[in-house]
Amino acid sequence: MTKIKIDGEKILLVKPTTFYNNTGLSIKALINFYKLNPDRDLLIVHDDLVLPFGTIRTRQKGSHAGNNGIKSINAQIGINYHRVRIGTRTVNYGSSTDSDFVMTKFNQTEQKMLEKIIIPTVIDILIAFSSDKFNSTSYKLLD
């Protein structure tokens, strides 16, 4: 966990240490410990195999869409929290199982796109969230 401030707003950046399918347990413990309101205080950022690489979708609530980590969170705290879905589906998807694919490292080109385009966009979304300017939208960052 890392603590940062954006325009005076305290932000916790947390990466659960549970198995992905049990992420909700970590999130619930975090909410209880810090007395957070998920509707207002929680932003989940996660990868999504359904979305093409270079696509980001933001939502204020929603279903799990087959994502086991999100299923776990929804089971523990409900669906009313903000989320950022980052597409990870590349041209290599389908050449292995889903579990093997998500454990594969990005190639050099993808890594550069992550560093120069995708991560800065996610940082902008985090800043918007901390300033109560978060909205549901889709970003197609790459052609």
Q: What is the tens place of the pLDDT at every residue in 91-137?
A: 777 677 777 777 788 889 889 999 999 999 999 999 999 988 988 88
Q: Degrees (nearest 5) of the Cα angle 43, 45, 50?
A: 130
This prediction has a pTM of 0.88
**How many Å apart are CA 52 and CA 87, to the nearest integer?**
5
20, 99 Cβ separation under 8 angstroms? no
Write the CB contacts of 90 (distance below 8 Å, at least 6 apart in sequence). Answer: 52, 53, 106, 110
pLDDT attached to residue 143: 61
How many folded domains does the chain comprise? Answer: 1
Mean pLDDT of the residues in the chain: 89
Residue type at position 13:
L
- Residue 23 domain boundaries: 2-140
The CATH number linked to 45 is 3.40.50.1470
Q: Of the ranges 10-24, 74-88, 96-110, which one carries the lowest mean pLDDT score?
A: 96-110
Element holding 70 (H helix, E strand): helix 68-77
Q: Which of 122, 58, 119, 54 is nearest to 88 (CA)?
A: 54
